Structure 1
Amino acid sequence: MTLPVFDLELTPFRSAEGWAGIDARYRAEFGPVAAGEVLLRLPAVIASVPGAVYRVEDIRVSDSAGAVPLTEVEGTSDPMSTYRHFLAARDVDGVVEVAVRAPVRDVDLRTPVGPLFDLRREQLGLFGAGCTFLPVPLSAESEFDFSLTWHLDDGVSAVSSHGAGDEVRRWSGDIASIEHCLFGAGTPIIAPDGATNFGIHAYSDMPFDLDGLSSYLRDIHTTMSAFFEEENPQYHVLVRRNPDKGSGGTSFPSSFAFGYSPTTEVDEADLRTLLAHEMVHNWPHLDEDWTVGSWYSEGTAEFYSLVLPWRAGILDSATFGEQLTDMYRRYDANPRRHLSYAAAADLFWADLRAQTIPYGRGIQYLVAVDARLRAESAGEVSLDDIVIDIQRAQRRGEKVLVEGWLQRIEKVIGERARTDYDAMVAGEPIERPTELFQGVLRPVPVVAPEHDLGFDIVSFQEPRRITGLVAGSAAERAGLRDGDELVTRRFSYSAARDGSTPLDIVIARDGEEVTVRYEPRGGDIRTTDWVVDG
């Protein structure tokens, strides 16, 4: 079957202020679109990040009969996105050409930290995701034969989720492969030097050991690519600076966008763990909605971001145990850990503590499943076998749902497969194995303080004033009051190991900024330290 073509050309451009945007042009074979039907779509907002603000006349469309005028109507929306829809003023068929001049988004200290989708200017270039600046055909079901061509000035380099360099890239896929795709160009600092299949591309000065970080991650990527049977191993990390406090990143196929703040210290060990986790996301997943299957994608990312480097000798056993302990501690100290999976999904956008549940619950469940598989099969079957079998089925074109996961493990552990899964989904405590990986690690029960913020987490949303202060809480004892204006713009729950991790809250009171530090200690919880046995 011959797929329709989609040839994309990108030309980054500059102005007196620096990198200014990307001229984007593509030729694609559309299906017939009648006059008055939707021809193109573009997010107005996606996950709180605005798309490029084009006027209708800024989007230039033509076919063999000449220019195609557009009109705009109110588009569709879902919990994550609001779309703009552009209608064709006449019948359109055959090869269509679309061209836009995509500007960078202007940001300042008031710009909140969010997913790294927007096209931004950096000191050494620009990058962003296609979903925020490429108007694309409405039908996301169609597959295309894609090509990507960069037009670059001398000395300028380019990278995308499909590879680095200015050579023409070709692949087949659906429209998401250019929407959920990073595009970057400029004169970034690249490590290792001359990187093609793997590299870190820093578009601003980085306060990290770039060479050491890239060497570490390249070794991990080589290990992961071999384990997950990757035929075309490549991975690129694009780095930019956030104007506001806070660091974070966004995962894309075979790539990752990371944003750091020069005013927020980033622990390089934590950064290595984060990037290893995101790298795993290239592979394990279930063909379910994220609200149903995220325990698997996030749990396997947590699991293999530790297990594979440990097996390869990149992590020693003591460090492996310490990092696994941190993952257990964060989940066990989470006051939302008892929520059912459905209830956690309902709170996902309102409560950061609910957002972290798939990570901690996922790895605890998978660690328990791995131990049970090994025990019931006398060491013949492990989680590895199940994960790789699912991946091979998906590569053959099969859809694997939760039921497919349960059927596979049920063959080994019997009816416990479903009862354990149902308990996990319901938010019940997950059984701790008595040992891990043939006795390398053993569990030590410990008591730690639950993480108790001491006021409503919605206080971090507009109008950003503290509400619901809990009488007698550590927050109240530290001096916070109901009605205090929050200067701290976001709450990074994932950075908290438990209630003993100090928390700094900056408030504005009587015209002055005040930093209030306290340990958000709640009641005692039982958790597990994983230590090297013997």
Structure 2
Amino acid sequence: MSRPTLRVTLTPCLAGNEASGVRVTYILGGLRLAAGQALCRLPEVLFGVEAAKVASDGIRATDDLGVIPLTHTMDDPTPSFTYRRWTVQRDTRGDVTVDYVAPVRIVDATTANGPLFDLRAEGAGISGAGISFLALPELEATFDTEVRWDLKELPSEARGVSSHGEGTVRRTTTLESVTYTFFMAGVLHSHPPEPHPTFGMFWLSPPTFDAALIGRQSQILYEEMCRFFREPAPGFRVFVRKHPYRGLGGSLLPGSRGYMFGWSDSETHTIEELTRLLAHETVHNWPLLDGWEDPSRVSWYNEGVAEYYSLFLPHRAGLISDEAFLDSLNQRARGYYGNPLQTLTSAEAAELYWKDWRAQRVPYGRGLFHLIDMDHRIRQATHGKRSLDDVVLALLERERAGQKATLDDWLELMGEELGDAARTAHEAMMSGQWIFPDLECLRPQFQAGEVKIHQLDVGFDYTSFKAGIVSGIVDGGPAAKAGVREGDTIVHAPPPERINAGRLTDISLTLRRGSDLVDVTYEPLGKQVKGMVWQKGALS
């Protein structure tokens, strides 16, 4: 029996010299939909970010009988998605053709930084993840797919690229995999300059950093990770887009074979800082636990594994020095022990995830130090014969065998290594108990020691940064002592993600109070707590 087919054409649209959206046209072949069955779905919101605002009557579908009447409905919201659906009102006959325009999301300097899935314009170019603008059927079947570009409205030198390749891409895959793909089109810069079969980095606007250098380093790191994770079919692409607002970050989707990275010219970042971020996102190409329906249960692993291997693999391969490794590890330690929200349960932190940047950092630090602890315990229990690597790679092999790797699978494998202690440690971590790995956990190269670390305390409600108005000022706190007042308008502040223990030693704010502008600078330091740092040799 032949597989159903999907043939997609993406046509970027211009309004003057600016991209305004993408016309999406696709043909479904080899399947029949019954009256009342959903033809396609598209998120209205995904992980707090707006998807393409396709009008409820903006999708047109036809088949051998002509126009297919559609009904638009909205699903109940979930923590991750709010889906819209278009349902056919009669049985379909023959190939089904779907056509609509997905408009770009309008962003400006006031837009909050978030996952980089939305469809955006950057001059005459566009970029985004398919999940934000491709309205496809929700079917689990495997399709023969083709995605091609029609760049007739763009300059002659324009290129169209996806995370699965440049130009027209044909794959046998699921429709979900098509939506979990990143796209970029326009007059692109790239590393390597010419199409490469297994790696590429692409950008539209010249960044403030050496993108070609970052591209070369990312390619070397990707190739090293392919060796470690035993990648059977290398292929990876990085898409770099410019934010009109302050903020740095990257976003990846399961199986996307690439990620989107965003930067702003209002900030300066070192090559080392950018390389660490891109290394983290690259690891996401491999070990992931399934659990999109409730990310709070698995985000500690998905982010923790990315933190762990983006730190340890470059060091093992000799790509970073001992000093650079220690600097990164200790910065993460200060961020973990200095985050007062780390004592929340994982579920409580997830509720604040899009409201408070400190909550977003909870799974990163919690996951990293839990995995460092688990690695040491496995090595101790097996006299050095096994390690965390064995468990992570075993989960990855399950995925490659067509199974979903779940939290239960992780706990089962860890139970085989450590017995009941594995589940006890997991439950303690999820409940927000502090993690203090053994001081000898990274011996013989590095020795840990206990230190006092100041927790982050800006002295007012952290959501004030997003609202732009100071609220919840703490009497006697660092902000109040510096002269910050309740109700001050925040004119300028560092991005919240940089106001993190170990990254900024002080915080400078420009505030509007009535008709006056007030500048204040102070140390955002709260109470001291026990933490850990590492160094080479014995800790003095």
TM-score for the superposition, normalised by structure 1: 0.92
Alignment-derived partner of residue 145 in structure 1: 144
What CA deviation, in whole Å up to 9, does each residue of 1:27-54 have, x standing for no partner?
Answer: 1247544445532222223333333333
Checking the alignment, whether the CA contact within 8 Å between 1:109 and 1:243 is kept in structure 2 is: yes
1:475 to 472, 479, 494: 479
* Equivalent residue letter for 2:99: A
Q: Are residue 528 (structure 1) and residue 532 (structure 2) matched?
A: yes
1:5 CA displacement:
1.4
> Partners in 2 of 1:392 and 1:479 — Cα distance?
57
The 3-state SS of whatever aligns with 1:400 is: coil
Alignment-derived partner of residue 156 in structure 1: 158
Pairwise mapping of residues 401-440 of structure 1 onto structure 2 (< 5 A)?
Answer: 401-440=406-445
Q: Are residue 385 (structure 1) and residue 390 (structure 2) matched?
A: yes
Cα 1:389–1:48 shift into 2, 3 Å: closer
1:437 CA displacement:
4.5
Checking the alignment, whether the CA contact within 8 Å between 1:236 and 1:256 is kept in structure 2 is: yes
> Partners in 1 of 2:157 and 2:418 — Cα distance?
58
Cα 1:467–1:144 shift into 2, 3 Å: same
What CA deviation, in whole Å up to 9, does each residue of 1:124-166 have, x standing for no partner?
Answer: 62211222322222x2544433221223454221211212x22
> Partners in 2 of 1:45 and 1:418 — Cα distance?
35
The 3-state SS of whatever aligns with 2:324 is: helix
Q: Are residue 292 (structure 1) and residue 307 (structure 2) matched?
A: no
What CA deviation, in whole Å up to 9, does each residue of 1:166-220 have, x standing for no partner?
Answer: 24331312x3222232111111111222142212211101111122211111110
1:529 CA displacement:
1.6
The 3-state SS of whatever aligns with 1:27 is: strand
> Partners in 2 of 1:202 and 1:129 — Cα distance?
15
The more displaced of 480-489 and 266-275 is 480-489
The 3-state SS of whatever aligns with 2:325 is: helix
1:229 CA displacement:
1.1
> Partners in 2 of 1:2 and 1:291 — Cα distance?
40
Alignment-derived partner of residue 211 in structure 1: 212
Give percent identity, aligned residues only: 36
Structure 2: unaligned runs, 5 residues or longer: none
The 3-state SS of whatever aligns with 1:243 is: coil
Alignment-derived partner of residue 368 in structure 2: 363
Q: Are residue 509 (structure 1) and residue 504 (structure 2) matched?
A: no
* Equivalent residue letter for 1:6: L
The 3-state SS of whatever aligns with 2:299 is: helix
Alignment-derived partner of residue 281 in structure 1: 284
The 3-state SS of whatever aligns with 2:530 is: strand
Q: Are residue 62 (structure 1) and residue 62 (structure 2) matched?
A: yes
Alignment-derived partner of residue 52 in structure 1: 52
TM-score for the superposition, normalised by structure 2: 0.92
Checking the alignment, whether the CA contact within 8 Å between 2:493 and 2:508 is kept in structure 1 is: no
> Partners in 1 of 2:345 and 2:74 — Cα distance?
36
Cα 1:468–1:487 shift into 2, 3 Å: same
* Equivalent residue letter for 1:450: Q
* Equivalent residue letter for 2:147: L
Cα 1:489–1:249 shift into 2, 3 Å: farther
Checking the alignment, whether the CA contact within 8 Å between 2:345 and 2:430 is kept in structure 1 is: yes
Structure 1: unaligned runs, 5 residues or longer: none
What CA deviation, in whole Å up to 9, does each residue of 1:238-276 have, x standing for no partner?
Answer: 112111222222223221212211112223211110110
* Equivalent residue letter for 1:336: L
Cα 1:79–1:426 shift into 2, 3 Å: closer
1:55 CA displacement:
3.2
Pairwise mapping of residues 7-18 of structure 1 onto structure 2 (< 5 A)?
Answer: 7-18=7-18
What CA deviation, in whole Å up to 9, does each residue of 1:109-135 have, x standing for no partner?
Answer: 333333222222214622112223222
> Partners in 1 of 2:230 and 2:73 — Cα distance?
46
The 3-state SS of whatever aligns with 1:286 is: coil
Q: Size of the alignment, in residue pairs?
A: 530
RMSD of aligned alpha carbons: 2.4
* Equivalent residue letter for 1:274: L
Alignment-derived partner of residue 237 in structure 1: 238
